[in-house]
Amino acid sequence: MENETVIALNNVTVRLRGRTVLDDVSLEVKKGEFVAVLGPNGAGKSMLLKLLLGLLKQAEGSVVVLGRPPRRGNRDIGYAPQHRALEADLALRARDIVGFGLDGNRWGIGLASRKRDELIDSVLKEMDVQHLGDAPVAQLSGGEQQRVLIAQALITDPEILLLDEPLSNLDITHAREVILLLTKRLCPSKQEAAHICRERKVTILLVTHDINPLLPVVDKVLYMSNGRGMMGTPEEIITSDALSKLYRTRVEVIRSGGRVFVAGAET
C-alpha cells in the first residue's frame, strides 16, 4: 500500500531504572523509507531500536510496528546490533553466525538442509562474503564481520531492517562498501537508489554518528538528543536552527563540498 505507515510512535516515554531514555517521542516511518538515526551517545538511539524489537516497554504512549504492538522474535524485522569483535578463540564459521538468523531465539546451529544452505549462501553472496562462509568468524576483519552480521539480519527477507551503528569502526572506504552493498541488495538499480528502495518496500533504520556517507541514499533523518527526537529530510533537520532547538543550545551546521559538519553539539 502506497505511503503505508510501518512504524508509529505516539508520545512515547521509556524509563530505565528511574532514568528517562526516551522522552515524549512521536514519529512515523513509511514503508520503503531509508532513515538515518543520529545523535550523541546516550541520546536514546539504541533504546529506540530495542523498543521496536519488543525488548523494552514504554511507560507512556503507544508503539505500532507493522500494524501491531512490538513483539520479540518478529521475523519481519531484521536486526544487526552494534558490532563487537568476536572472541579470538570462537570457532563458529561465518555461515553459522548467519544461520542463527533462521533460528530465532533458539541457540544452536539447527538442522542442516538444502534450503537452509541455499538461503545462507544467497545472503553471504549479496554481502560479498560468500568466499568466507567456512572461515572462523573470529579471523575475519571488522568490516567482514559487519557484513556477516548484516547478512544474518537479512536472511529472513524482513520488511524492516534495523542496523545499530553498522559503519562504526570502519574506515571511509569500507563504510562506503557496506552502504553500496546494502543499496545494491535492496535497490538493484545504481540510479535513483532511494527511489528503488521505496519500490521494493524495504524499510531501513540505520543508527550512525556520521550522516555524510549516507546522504546520497537516505530519505529522512531522525536526530536525537537527551531522549528527544526530530525527524524530517536532511535539508529540514540538519540545520543550525533545527539542531539548536533540539539541543537547547546554539549549534552551527556547515555545508561544504557536499558534506555537512555539525559544530557545538556533542556527537
- 262 within a domain of the structure (yes/no): no
Average per-residue pLDDT for the chain = 85
90 with 57, same domain?
Answer: no
The pLDDT confidence band at residue 226, using thresholds 50, 70 and 90, is confident
Domain extent for 144: 86-157
- 128 within a domain of the structure (yes/no): yes
130 with 7, same domain?
Answer: no
pLDDT digits (tens, 9 = 90+) for 121-159: 999 988 889 999 999 888 888 888 888 988 999 898 899
20-25 long-range Cβ contacts below 8 angstroms, 24+ apart? 20/227, 21/47, 21/227, 22/47, 22/48, 22/51, 22/58, 22/227, 22/229, 23/226, 23/227, 23/228, 24/60, 24/61, 24/228, 25/61, 25/227, 25/228, 25/229
167 with 142, same domain?
Answer: no
The pLDDT confidence band at residue 67, using thresholds 50, 70 and 90, is very high
Which residue, of 106, 139, 157, is where some domain finishes? 157
pLDDT digits (tens, 9 = 90+) for 1-36: 668 999 999 999 999 988 999 999 999 999 989 999
113 with 167, same domain?
Answer: no
Q: Per-residue pLDDT averaged across 151-174, rounded?
A: 87
94 with 153, same domain?
Answer: yes
Closest CA to 206 of 65, 75, 21, 81: 81
206 with 99, same domain?
Answer: no
69 with 170, same domain?
Answer: yes
Which residue, of 157, 181, 211, is where some domain finishes? 157
